[in-house]
């Protein structure tokens, strides 16, 4: 029986309740629903601050029941070194979508990390070459780690190179995840060389200057650009988008804050040059990869419906498992 009141769930609660396999399944389901036109459009609002920013992402989703969720996230890249705080902090409020009652308030960090990694893996499943065996991760924080964990759930990755401006971070990443995943992982400092050798490249950094160049990329590569989730962030050279196939999570959103935004601003592409939204590919509205030599770029800015579906999954497991603390705000 559903509890009467609002369930409070900490980051530890969420982490204990949500696996990356469940995240992948939930996120793939919601992208398919979105691609089939069976969801209402998600919303986003961004507010800039001196050393970072805040964004609110919200959406309504009909699953076995109707859910609404709003996520408030703070993103301050300097936090880990300056204040010993996470880069991303925030909360998700989950409500019943039919009558509005607040069902849960939960920490957003774990959900944001997992649903973003899940989207990257799902995009690779549909857009990378099926025989992909090598990967490069640019950015060795939490998002880089979950991206690789998720990627290994959908493809047989045998060798990984990891790159970070902080070499100690990339070395720690390589050491820890090689043992966990049982694959060869090497920390590298020469980005260009290892981009050329990688079937899949994932960028998940807070960069505000493009560092991933068009000339680095070999034919047949799949690139997931994850870091640009505000108009100031940028990882890819805009010319890379102008010559290759672009798939986005949400077209309007990517045009405003993603890598597509920068290519549009440079006058190198138009909106019509964007091939598809990922949901359209998953739903079969448009084909994914059509040749082994095409370069495909996935511009991932984070769709609010990913938060709704994963928060709903966490809430339902919490109710079934008796997890969390029940509060009554009335």
Q: Which residues are catalytic?
A: 71
Measured in Å, how far apart are the chain's first and last C-alpha atoms?
Answer: 20
**Burial class for 179, CB neighbours closer than 10 Å (0-12, 13-18, 19+):** exposed
Residue carrying the six token digits 């986005």: 248
- How distant, in Å, are the alpha carbons of 132, 276, 290, 293, 300 from that of 220? 9, 18, 11, 4, 19
C-alpha span between 267 and 257 (Å, rounded): 16
User: What pairs with residue 326 in β-bridges?
Assistant: 7
**Burial class for 36, CB neighbours closer than 10 Å (0-12, 13-18, 19+):** middle
Closest CA to 212 of 116, 123, 226: 226
**Three-state secondary structure call for residue 292:** coil
């Amino acid at each position: 029986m559903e509890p009467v009141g609002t369930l409070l769930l900490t980051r530890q609660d969420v982490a204990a309740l949500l696996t990356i396999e469940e995240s992948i399944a939930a996120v793939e389901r919601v992208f398919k629903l979105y691609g089939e036109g069976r969801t209402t459009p998600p919303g986003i609002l961004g507010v800039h601050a001196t050393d970072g920013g805040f964004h609110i992402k919200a959406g309504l989703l009909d699953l076995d029941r109707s859910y609404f969720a709003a996520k408030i996230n703070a993103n301050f890249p300097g936090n880990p070194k300056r204040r010993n705080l996470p880069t991303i902090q925030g909360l998700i409020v989950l409500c019943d979508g039919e009558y509005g009652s607040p069902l849960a308030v939960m920490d957003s960090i774990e959900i944001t990390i997992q649903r973003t990694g899940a989207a990257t893996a799902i995009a690779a499943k549909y857009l990378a070459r099926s025989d992909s065996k090598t990967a490069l991760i640019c950015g060795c924080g939490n998002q880089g780690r979950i991206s690789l964990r998720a990627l290994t759930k959908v493809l047989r990755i045998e060798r990984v190179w990891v790159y970070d401006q902080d070499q100690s971070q990339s070395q720690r990443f390589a050491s820890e995840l090689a043992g966990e995943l049982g694959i060869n992982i090497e920390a590298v400092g020469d980005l260009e060389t290892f981009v050329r050798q990688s079937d899949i490249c994932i960028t998940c950094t807070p960069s505000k200057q493009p560092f991933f160049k068009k000339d680095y990329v070999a034919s047949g590569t799949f690139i997931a650009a994850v870091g640009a989730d505000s108009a100031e962030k940028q990882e890819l050279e805009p010319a890379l988008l102008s010559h290759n196939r672009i798939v986005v999570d949400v077209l309007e959103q990517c045009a405003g804050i993603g890598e597509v935004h920068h290519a549009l601003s440079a006058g190198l592409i138009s909106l019509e040059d964007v091939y598809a939204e990922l949901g359209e590919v998953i739903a079969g509205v448009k084909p994914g990869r059509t040749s082994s030599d095409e370069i495909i770029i996935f511009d991932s800015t984070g769709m609010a419906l990913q938060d709704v579906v994963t928060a709903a999954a966490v809430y339902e497991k919490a109710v079934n498992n008796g997890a969390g603390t029940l509060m009554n705000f009335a």
